[in-house]
């Protein structure tokens, strides 16, 4: 959630910076129009430009250049925002890739543990089955011993 708030704030700052650049571009366009108009002003004798006309044109041109410098500075800030957004996207992608790798490792580890538990359970089950067989055979041997012992005693009683 914190990242989303940061991203929204960053997007808002980017939008504000774009508005600032667009305002400067409109201002430059207006100033350049004024410069173009000042070049056509000829207040001197015989339609010539006076020093004042030329100074006025140069001052307007200087303002255009200053506005251009501001536009370049603000565009640099705008590009920095864009680079930051790209870096954030790469960081998010790397983070996602790392999380996916961690999930895959966890799944593999759990699968291995599951297989180990299954084999251990199978060994216990086969061990308990063999215990049942041993107990069964012992009971048969005990029953057989009892039965043969009884037969032998009855045979001895008949022969005596």
- pLDDT tens-digit readout, 21-53: 999 999 999 988 888 888 777 766 666 777 888
pTM of the model: 0.50
The pLDDT, as a whole number, for residue 154 is 83
pLDDT of residue 107: 95
Q: 3-state SS of the chain?
A: CHHHHHHHHHHHHHHHHHHHHHHHHHHHHHHHHHHHHHHCCCCCHHHCCCHHHHHHHHHHHHHHHHHHHHHHHHHHHHHHHHHHHHHHHHHHHHHHHHHHHHHHHHHHHHHHHHHHHHHHHHHHHHHHHHHHHHHHHHHHHHHHHHHHHHHHHHHHHHHC
What are the structural domain ranges in the chain?
Answer: 2-133
For residue 1, what pLDDT band results from cuts at 50, 70 and 90?
A: very low
């Amino acid at each position: 959630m914190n990242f989303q708030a940061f991203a929204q704030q960053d997007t808002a700052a980017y939008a504000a910076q774009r508005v600032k650049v667009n305002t400067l571009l409109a201002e430059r366009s207006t100033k350049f129009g004024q410069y173009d108009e000042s070049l056509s002003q000829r207040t001197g004798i015989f339609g010539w430009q006076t020093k004042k006309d030329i100074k006025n044109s140069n001052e307007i041109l200087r303002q255009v250049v200053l506005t251009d410098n501001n536009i370049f500075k603000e565009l640099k800030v705008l590009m920095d925002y864009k680079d930051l957004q790209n870096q954030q996207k790469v960081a998010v992608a790397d983070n996602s890739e790392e999380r996916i790798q961690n999930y895959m490792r966890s799944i593999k580890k759990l699968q291995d543990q599951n297989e180990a538990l299954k084999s251990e359970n199978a060994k216990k089950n086969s061990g308990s089955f063999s215990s049942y067989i041993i107990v069964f055979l012992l009971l048969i041997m005990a029953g057989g011993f009892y039965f043969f012992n009884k037969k032998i005693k009855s045979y001895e009683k008949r022969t005596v």
